[in-house]
């Protein structure tokens, strides 16, 4: 019997929110498989960046989707919103090139004569990035946001289904039920089932709020029905299952209008600002002197956290090179910065807070930065080929999902940044290499920062980054 693979993503789920009262079904799943306690997102810890790394097994410096909002590659004075499928399709049409610069899981499966399906209640752009060539390959993409974000096969299926509901938790439940009833009885070689909760309600209903917990419980219950059918049905031995979150959330404690603060800076004239809790400044001419001036100015702002600037610029004291984030790419902003974070409790008592530049309210959740609250993720594997009851502290992350899926399917996944998590396979052992912590530090007048990474052989995982003041 051929092996098949299912990835279920709980968007924005923090590991410390996986508790018996919130997620009994996730815990039931974790107990029968292998858990990774040192699992990490990518930087920036934003959903479309994470989706691209899941789809390709590569870091942003390779796949090229370097932020949720980017300076438009053809006109850097404009912003490209990667959450809108229309903008991504228009970009591909205008450039004549794919938005992701490396093959995806769907591409590699098609080349091997296997199929791949994506079912998502996330944004239309996020859904597209999981399988951007679905129509060309004849694969199915089904979006809970309607036919404009589906492939041809997805539109045909959508016409047979009851309309997707509007509330985000209900959309997550709807897409999970479509998988359970329409796909689980005879699954494709690989399926990505992306649930928009608890992320959506965390943003707008409050991190750790009653509304977010209720939405998480809806998503967990929907997964529980899939788990019940999988364990009792004919796919029990064939289907191997991974469950992950793409990033965590930090609690918003205040706001900072970075654009207004930058407006009087001569070096900022003509630049494109990309805001949020993790922001960037794209310098259209790439002038090293302007990059240096902007980065140095940021080190003097009390509301600013970690700061990185393009390699090759004259980095001011305290600023780290952009390449340390593994996100250096020609599309990336020349100066990258986080707003100030703390390890203190959010309004709901969860550790990890941040300032925010945008419309989300105080008490809401956000992500994109380098704090543990944002970078640490949930990651479990289970199935007939997965060791039960194993707890691994080996570094792992989003980039490992695609190569691990391909290995389980018997398909080569050469050239990816991620690794095969063979230690979770039945009879598997920990990698021969020992994990090696790496620390990058930079100190300037009144400003210092630290970036922590972990290396395992040729694979590198970002753990956290933060600012601390100096006398």
Question: What is the SS3 assignment for 128?
Answer: helix
pLDDT per position as a tens digit, 313-350: 889 999 999 999 998 999 999 999 999 999 999 999 99
Q: Grade residue 32 by pLDDT with cuts at 50, 70 and 90.
A: very high
pLDDT per position as a tens digit, 126-180: 999 999 999 999 999 999 999 999 999 999 999 999 999 999 999 999 999 999 9
The residues that bridge with 440 in the sheet, in sequence order, are 451
**Rounded-to-integer distance, Cα 288 and Cα 313, Å:** 5
The long-range contacts involving 169-172, CB below 8 angstroms and separated by at least 24 positions, are: 169/197, 169/200, 169/201, 169/214, 169/215, 169/218, 169/219, 170/218, 171/121, 171/144, 171/145, 171/196, 172/121, 172/144, 172/196, 172/197, 172/215, 172/218, 172/219, 172/222
| Per-residue confidence (pLDDT) for residue 470, from 0 to 100 | 57
Say if domain 4-248+376-424 classifies as CATH 3.30.2320.50: no
Share of the chain above pLDDT 70, in %: 99
Q: Average per-residue pLDDT in the chain?
A: 96
Contact 212, 138 (CB under 8 A): no
* Residue 10: C-alpha distances to residues 122, 169, 196, 445, 465 (Å): 10, 11, 7, 42, 24
The residues that bridge with 279 in the sheet, in sequence order, are 337
Helices (H), 134-257: 134-137, 152-158, 168-178, 199-205, 210-232
* Residue 360: C-alpha distances to residues 101, 168, 201, 206, 252 (Å): 32, 17, 12, 9, 8
Mean pLDDT confidence for 168-194: 98
Mean pLDDT confidence for 431-456: 96
**Rounded-to-integer distance, Cα 276 and Cα 370, Å:** 13
Asked if pLDDT for residue 12 goes beyond 80, the answer is yes
The closest alpha carbon to 401, from 128, 52, 122, belongs to: 52
**Rounded-to-integer distance, Cα 185 and Cα 183, Å:** 6
| Per-residue confidence (pLDDT) for residue 276, from 0 to 100 | 80
Tokens matching residue 432: 């021969």
Share of the chain above pLDDT 90, in %: 96
Mean pLDDT confidence for 275-303: 94
Task: Name 448's Cβ contacts closer than 8 Å, sequence gap at least 6.
Answer: 318, 441, 442, 467, 468, 469, 470
Mean pLDDT confidence for 259-263: 96
**Rounded-to-integer distance, Cα 418 and Cα 414, Å:** 10
The closest alpha carbon to 278, from 362, 387, 164, 356, belongs to: 356
**Rounded-to-integer distance, Cα 347 and Cα 325, Å:** 29
Q: Grade residue 396 by pLDDT with cuts at 50, 70 and 90.
A: very high
**Rounded-to-integer distance, Cα 412 and Cα 183, Å:** 25
| Per-residue confidence (pLDDT) for residue 77, from 0 to 100 | 93
Question: What is the SS3 assignment for 441?
Answer: strand
Contact 131, 139 (CB under 8 A): yes
Asked if pLDDT for residue 355 goes beyond 60, the answer is yes
Mean pLDDT confidence for 46-71: 97
For the chain, the structural domain boundaries read 4-248+376-424, 252-366+436-468
| Per-residue confidence (pLDDT) for residue 313, from 0 to 100 | 81
Asked if pLDDT for residue 1 goes beyond 90, the answer is no
């Amino acid at each position: 019997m051929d092996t098949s693979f299912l990835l279920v993503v709980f968007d924005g789920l923090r590991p410390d929110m996986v508790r018996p009262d919130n997620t009994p079904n996730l815990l039931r799943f974790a107990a029968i498989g292998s858990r990774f306690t040192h699992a990490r997102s990518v930087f920036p810890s934003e959903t479309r960046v994470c989706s691209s790394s899941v789809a390709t097994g590569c870091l942003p410096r390779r796949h090229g989707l370097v932020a949720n909002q980017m300076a438009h590659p053809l006109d850097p004075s404009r912003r490209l919103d990667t959450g809108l499928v229309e903008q991504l399709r228009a970009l591909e049409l205008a450039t004549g090139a794919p938005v992701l610069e490396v093959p995806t899981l769907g591409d590699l499966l098609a080349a091997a004569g296997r199929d791949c399906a994506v079912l998502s209640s996330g944004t239309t752009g996020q859904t597209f990035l999981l399988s951007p060539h679905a129509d060309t390959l004849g694969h199915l993409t089904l979006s809970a946001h309607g036919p404009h974000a589906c492939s041809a096969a997805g539109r045909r299926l959508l016409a047979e289904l009851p309309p997707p509901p509007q509330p985000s938790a209900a959309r997550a439940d709807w897409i999970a039920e479509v998988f359970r009833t329409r796909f689980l009885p005879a699954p494709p070689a690989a399926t990505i089932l992306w649930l928009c909760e608890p992320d959506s309600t965390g943003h707008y209903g409050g991190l750790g709020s009653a509304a977010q917990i209720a939405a998480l419980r809806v998503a967990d219950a929907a997964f529980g029905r899939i788990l019940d059918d999988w364990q009792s049905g004919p796919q029990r031995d064939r289907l191997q299952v991974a469950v992950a979150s793409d990033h965590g959330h930090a609690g918003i404690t205040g706001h900072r209008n970075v654009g207004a603060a930058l407006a009087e800076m001569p070096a900022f004239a003509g630049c494109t600002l990309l805001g949020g809790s993790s922001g960037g400044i794209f310098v259209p001419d790439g002038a090293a002197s302007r990059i240096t001036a902007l980065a140095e100015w940021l080190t003097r702002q009390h509301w600013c956290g970690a700061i990185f600037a393009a390699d090759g610029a004259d980095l001011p004291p305290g600023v780290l090179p952009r390449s340390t984030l593994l996100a250096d790419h020609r599309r990336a902003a020349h100066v990258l910065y986080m707003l100030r974070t703390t390890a203190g409790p959010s309004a709901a008592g969860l550790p990890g807070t941040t300032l925010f530049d945008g419309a989300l309210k105080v008490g809401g959740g956000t992500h994109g930065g380098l704090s543990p609250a944002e970078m640490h993720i949930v990651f479990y594997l289970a199935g007939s080929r997965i060791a039960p009851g194993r707890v691994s502290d080996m570094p792992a992350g989003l980039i490992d999902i695609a190569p691990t899926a391909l290995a389980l399917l018997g398909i080569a996944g050469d050239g990816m940044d991620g690794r095969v998590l063979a230690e979770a396979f039945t009879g598997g052992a920990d990698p021969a290499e020992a994990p090696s912590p790496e620390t990058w530090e930079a100190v300037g007048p009144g400003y210092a920062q630290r970036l922590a990474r972990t290396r395992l052989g040729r694979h590198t995982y970002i753990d956290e980054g933060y600012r601390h003041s100096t006398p």
